[in-house]
Chain A
Amino acid sequence: MEVLAILIPASLFLGLLGLAAFVWTLRKGQYDDPEGDSQRILDPRYDDKPKPVSDEN
């Protein structure tokens, strides 16, 4: 059962990593326009990087 000493912190760490990723995407406004983002991938202008989101919007 000593393996738990590694597994529990590992699972907690991975969980926190996922949460941090979610917080980052939320702050970046990635849920503001899901429909538009799914259409923007069809536009070659955004192949390299997404259209910047203005901070107020």
Chain B
Amino acid sequence: MSDTAFRPSACPACSAGAAAEDMAARAPLPDARLLLSVPGAHCAACIANIERDLAKMEGVNSARLNLTLKRLSVDAAPDIEVSDIIARLERLGYEAHEMDASSLSMTATERQGRDLLMRVGVSGFAMMNVMLLSVAVWAGAEGPTRDLFHLVSALIAIPTVAFAGQPFFRNAWKALRAGRMDMDAPISFAIILTLFISLYESLLSGEHAYFEAVVMLIFFLLVGRYLDFRARAAARSAAQELAALEVPRATRLLDGQEQAVNVAELAVGDVVLVRPGGRVPVDGVVVQGQSEIDRSLLTGETLPVFATLGHALSAGEVNLTGPLQVQVAAAGKDSSLHRMADLVANAESARMRYTTIAERAAAAYAPTIPILSLAAFIVWYWISGGDLRLSMNIAVASLIITCPCALGLAVPAVVTSASGKLFRKGLLIKDGSALERLAEVDTVILDKTGTLTMGTPVPTNLDQHPVDALQVALALAEASSHPLAVALARALQQRGIAPARLQELQEQSGYGVQGVWHGQTVRLGRADWVGATPRSVTAAYLTIGGASRAFTFADQLRPGAETVVQALKAQGKAVRLISGDVPGAVRDLAARLGIDDWQAGALPQDKASAIAALQAQGRKVLMVGDGLNDTVALSQADVSISPASALDAARAASDMVLLGRDLSPVADALRMSKTALRRIRENLWQSAIYNIIFVPIALFGFATPLWAAFVMSISSISVTLNALRLK
């Protein structure tokens, strides 16, 4: 609806391991406010533990945990990093993720929410007071007493409508000026016309005034609007996020001189320097140096790729070990990263065209309101032989009774109830229409690295090695920033192994780390470099003197991965695994999880086109993925989910975000969406049935303000109760 133009973010963010460079570029704020998502917090003890522990932390001024949003806000000195707080929370046993630093947009959302809530409150109080007076009139007040009560009602109702009705008037004006007809136009028309006719009737000592109906209509519609707002307050455009990933500056080498330039200024043929830990700014070819490249963000490959003279690199990859000189083949608009951003933008705009069931209902219903009441006016004018006042009264009565009080609540009440339940299970719904799209899903596509697996290698055979070998391995591993070395060092530190003392420690970029231990040369790295026979699994190799041994690694399965695949199959969904990783690794995982349908070595475009092919067959596809290579697929799919550990861009491209580590809420969401859609349909039918019964009564001229108030409250309460029935 009209709120879509305003799409601030509230989705939890996390520090992507490779984005160290981005962190450095971010200038520290004078008085930093850090926001973290803490999905595991659920009780009074959690609040006390977290807040008490952080209060003791140096540099932290105050910490407050919001249990409703499961969000922790920390006021801290500028030198405090989010990662320090995350580490501290993890020691307490709470998983935490960094949230978007742009708290500015977050405050704007909250202000908008409060503004709506204020209007709900004002109209609620006005409704109660006007109703008090109206009940007296219905109970039999007559003559001057009735007129006095009507006038006092008018005194309350007119300022209330002027204040609380603004959201409808504003939207209606916007729609009319653009030449569209939406639900707000007939609503505003009904509100204003009814208010004026009622005032006119009261001044002429008329019998019926509809002040309480007007205020009640505004109150119930605002409640629906507020619920709707809360459900959709979290969305954001993915394409922008993806563009922000690009490195804005690069180091150009010109006649042996280093020169910092904007990426936009680079031309094809220029040579740029990419330091270890830096992100490759352009598509190009290595002309000097050797290193290992982490391509996991672009392709989903777990293992770093060796790169030396003549190897092609893509923008967005991360250089791990040695400095590289890269000759530019394509920069800026033509780079592969930019092409991906374009693909995402295209796919997103296609999905925007999805019309929700509420929008369809509103589009069908909106024109009937003014048409019905106009017809009533004309017919009664003709029947009564020109009694303007009588026909006007009947027209107003049918206008106010047809106004879609329950229709405004029917969908938001269900969506709020469902998303609240899923949030408590650890799933954040960013877009209200996602539930509807999810209910139609029959095919689920899963990504491997980072989605079904944790994306971090874990050593598997540490027990097969003697302690002195482990000590040497730890000393060597600590000297490197290679992912396998980091994983090895972490695992060994957790076992309480102390590093051996080594001399002449040095890293050979692209190969491994070397040192001298008790007069012997020791090496940790690639098989051919240390002189070992390579194995078929992921491994790092250690030689001490002449003897070599292998440390094997496996990617850890994400908790809930097995149950989710089983649950999806039990629900009769087709499950497919598509990964950019090598066939061996994908086949092993597919066999372990019982997935028959798998595809390996898929490029980002392959994933998206596989989904497009399924959609062309009429399938509705759910995509679950986390990497940059998944973003196009995530936007292409009918509905998408990403874990909180996913890259910003992937999370932004998804409709739902898993807050915890566990994958099992995905199955719950699918089940819940089915029930939610059924409740939405029931609610729409309910409000339609109320209209079918009461509109004829209004048209025949039997409707009184008491009838209008009765129908409105009964239908609104019944759709709300039906929504709360959701389990």
Contacts and interface: CB of A to CB of B under 8 A. Distances in A.
Contacts of A4: 145, 148
A57 B73 contact: yes
B125 A36 contact: no
A56 interface: yes
Interface in B29-82: 33, 43-44, 47-48, 62, 64-69, 73, 75
B107 A8 contact: no
Interface string A34-56: 11100110110100000101101
Interface in B119-159: 121-122, 125-126, 128-129, 132, 145, 148, 152, 156
A22 B126 CA distance: 13
Contact of B117 (A8, A31, A42, A54): A31
B107 A11 contact: no
B66 A33 contact: yes
Nearest to A55: B107
B125 A15 contact: yes
Contact of B73 (A22, A39, A51, A54): A54
Interface of A: 1, 4, 8, 11-12, 15, 18-19, 22-23, 26, 31-36, 39-40, 42-43, 45, 51, 53-54, 56-57
B56 to A, nearest CB: 14
Nearest to A12: B129
A8 B67 contact: no
B501 interface: no
A26 B121 CA distance: 9
Contacts of A22: 121, 125
B62 A8 contact: no
A6 to B, nearest CB: 13
Contacts of B129: 11-12, 15
By secondary structure, the A interface counts as helix
B704 interface: no
B118 A26 contact: yes
B68 A33 contact: yes
Contacts of B66: 32-33, 36, 57
Contacts of B121: 19, 22-23, 26
B47 A39 contact: yes
Contacts of A57: 64, 66, 73, 110
Contacts of B43: 39
B118 A39 contact: no
15 contacts: A4-B145, A11-B132, A12-B152, A19-B122, A26-B121, A33-B66, A34-B68, A35-B68, A36-B65, A36-B68, A39-B47, A40-B44, A53-B64, A57-B66, A57-B110
A33 B125 contact: no
By secondary structure, the B interface counts as helix
Interface of B: 33, 43-44, 47-48, 62, 64-69, 73, 75, 103, 107, 110, 114, 117-118, 121-122, 125-126, 128-129, 132, 145, 148, 152, 156
Nearest to B41: A36
A1 B141 CA distance: 11
A8 B346 CA distance: 61
A57 B47 CA distance: 17
B265 to A, nearest CB: 39
A15 B128 CA distance: 8
A54 B64 contact: yes
B114 A39 contact: no
Given A19-B121, A34-B68, 20 more contacts: A4-B148, A8-B148, A12-B129, A15-B129, A18-B125, A19-B122, A19-B125, A26-B117, A26-B118, A31-B117, A32-B110, A36-B47, A39-B43, A39-B47, A39-B67, A45-B48, A54-B62, A56-B107, A57-B66, A57-B73
B152 A8 contact: yes
Nearest to A36: B67
B420 to A, nearest CB: 10
A54 B67 contact: no
A41 B458 CA distance: 43
A28 to B, nearest CB: 11
Contacts of B62: 54
Considering the complex of A and B, which 4 residue pairs feature the smallest CB-CB distances, nearest first?
Answer: A36-B67, A39-B44, A42-B44, A15-B129
A35 to B, nearest CB: 4
Nearest to B103: A56
B73 A23 contact: no
Of B33, B47, B110, B156, chain A has the most CB atoms within 10 Å of the CB of B47
A19 B73 CA distance: 30
Given A19-B125, A54-B64, A33 B117 contact: no
Contacts of B75: 54
A51 B50 CA distance: 14
Nearest to B132: A11
A40 B33 contact: no
Contacts of B48: 43, 45
Given A22-B125, A40-B44, A51 B117 contact: no
Contacts of A34: 68
B155 to A, nearest CB: 8
A43 B64 CA distance: 14
A22 B120 CA distance: 11
A57 B75 CA distance: 11
Contacts of B156: 12, 15
A51 B121 CA distance: 25
A30 B552 CA distance: 54
A56 B68 CA distance: 17
A11 B131 CA distance: 12
Contacts of B73: 54, 57
B50 to A, nearest CB: 11
A57 B297 CA distance: 34
